[in-house]
Amino acid sequence: MLYQNKPTAFTYYSFLFLTFLSLSSCKKSKNEDSKTAEIFEIKTPEGMIWVANKTFLQGAKETDKFAMPREKPAHLVTVDGFYIDATEVTNKQYTAFVNATKYVTIAERKIDWEEMKTQLPANTPKPHDSILQPGSLLFNKNVNAIADMNNYGQWWTWKIGANWKHPEGPNSNLKGKENFPVVHVSLKDVLAYCKWANRRLPSESEWESAAQGTNSNTIFTWGNDASVLNANANTWQGVFPTRNDSKDGFEFISPVKSYPANSIGLYDMTGNVWEITADLFNVNYYNEIDISKPLLNPKGANKSYSPSNPYQVEYIMKGGSFLCHASYCASFRISAKMGVSVDSASDHMGFRTVATNTMLSTK
């Protein structure tokens, strides 16, 4: 079939097929011919970029000094072509979805303690009702000193009334932030958007393929030169989490397209906000797969596993955020990943979607 941006081989055989159709159906009306052409040609959706099928090295690269055990071993992966959003989904786009569907996000809903405690250690005491109110996680901008870098609760705070419409709390709004990535959305909220838009989340392999662009074995979305990080991504400069020098131009979250695109036209694949994917987070996954030959379109682990959060199902998020710093998570690398539970939301996680020719042709 002749799909736009498909490899040459497909185009060649499709051309022969279409030629045969034209010779054997002379009695067809012009309208019928037009309909036939529409079946075989799919235009790139607005705001999306085609990622060509390729084989590349997924996971930590040999010279990556920040690589973590869960990113190893690196292994060859072959991924079919697909379309991906050029940017993270914006507040403007998510507003259109909510206006059309009247959807209410998890951060806006009344908290169900009975459901919540199933994801916590047995006998966890119920917090006071004044605390169990709809809200989301915010980075604490007023941290002055840190006693223990392993205690991330020192720079995170639960903000009642924080949600996608009120990203900094109940007294904030989206005025002037239409082109910022939507945040405070959980996996459930993201999947609802995908269903409405006829999209889906990328697998981790698809995400890395897109982030590599025309490359196949680089640490960063622009190559291997760490010295140009500030020019290419919204991350943290200074002393995390007490002082951000904003050498990259932004202290916290930034509008989409504030930094250069990668080699195929994708923006903010590194930094700004984490991007949730369709794959389960399992720190042992790479050590459990057969890497003797390239994996074809892998879909990740069959189950979630994180020793730091054993009671909740977590999914992989990629790309890092404006909070990433070399002294802490250093997740401004393509292979970096963290886990996030299905109902968690914060001011540094968003998403982008993908689509395939099959999805678009059956809409």
Considering the entire predicted model, what is its pTM? 0.84
Query: What average pLDDT does the chain have?
Result: 87
Under the banding of pLDDT at 50, 70 and 90, the label for residue 142 is: confident
Under the banding of pLDDT at 50, 70 and 90, the label for residue 284 is: very high
* Residue pair 345/106 in contact by the 8 Å Cβ criterion: yes
Distances (CA, A) of 310 to 36, 149, 281, 313, 347: 53, 21, 11, 8, 24
Residues 194-248 pLDDT 10s: 999 999 999 999 999 999 999 999 999 999 999 999 999 999 998 888 888 988 8
User: Rg (Cα) of the chain, in Å, rounded?
Assistant: 22
> Does the pLDDT at position 5 exceed 50?
no
% residues pLDDT > 70 (the chain): 88
Cα–chain-centroid distance for residue 250? 21
* Residue pair 233/261 in contact by the 8 Å Cβ criterion: no
Residues 154-208 pLDDT 10s: 778 889 999 999 999 999 999 999 999 999 999 999 999 999 999 999 999 999 9
Query: Two tokens at 94?
Result: 């998510």
Where do the domains of the chain lie, and which CATH numbers do they carry? 1-41 (no CATH), 46-361 (3.90.1580.10)
* Residue pair 59/72 in contact by the 8 Å Cβ criterion: yes
Give the relative orientation of helices 91-101 and 187-197 as an angle to the nearest 10 degrees.
Answer: 80
